[in-house]
Amino acid sequence: MPVLVVDDYKTMVRIIRNLLKQIGFEDVDEASDGVEALSKLKERQYGLVISDWNMEPMTGYELLKQVRDDTDLSALPFIMVTAEAKSENVIAAKKAGVNNYIVKPFNAQTLKSKIDTVFDS
């Protein structure tokens, strides 16, 4: 299953890519912001998006809302990654239709359990 990792911080993309590889995901693409991610989502069918919250010019939250508003993408599983565990962010992301939420730092086991939760529900 192809996974799209969206983060403007290259090191974080590399970390997530390595964690995904550890738990069996080999087909991983990346985008450095929401705008790039949207164009990739229109070009290819992904099974999962893992996106950072804080990015410019389009945040992960804005990307999530656009994905949910797009009839072709609205059912796409979406996991938000953030350094801040602010409850208002979690609530906003849930209202916007996020499937799961991961707070940095995290390990392969946490990532695997969050992904499993998304696909088991």
For 24-38, the pLDDT digits (tens) are: 999 999 999 999 999
Burial label for 74, CB within 10 Å (0-12, 13-18, 19+), is: exposed
- Identify whether the C-beta of residue 30 lies closer than 8 Å to the C-beta of residue 6: yes
pLDDT at residue 31, as a whole number: 98
| Residue range 107-118, pLDDT digits in tens | 999 999 999 999
Judged by DSSP in three states, 107 sits in: coil
Q: Please check the confidence at residue 46 and state whether its pLDDT lies above 90.
A: yes
Confidence category of residue 83, pLDDT binned at 50, 70, 90: confident
pLDDT at residue 18, as a whole number: 97
Which whole number is the average pLDDT over 89-111?
95
Which whole number is the average pLDDT over 78-97?
92
Residue percentage of the chain with pLDDT more than 70 = 99
Sheet holding 78-82, edge to edge: 28-31, 3-6, 48-52, 78-82, 100-103
Q: Please check the confidence at residue 121 and state whether its pLDDT lies above 80.
A: no
Instruction: Give the number of other CB atoms < 10 A from CB of residue 7.
Output: 25
The angle that helices 60-69 and 34-43 make with each other, rounded to 10 degrees, is 30
Q: 82 has which bridge partners? A: 103
Q: Please check the confidence at residue 86 and state whether its pLDDT lies above 90.
A: no
Please state the φ and ψ torsions of residue 97, each to the nearest 5 degrees: 105, 20
CA end-to-end span of the chain: 17
Structure tokens at 2: 């192809």
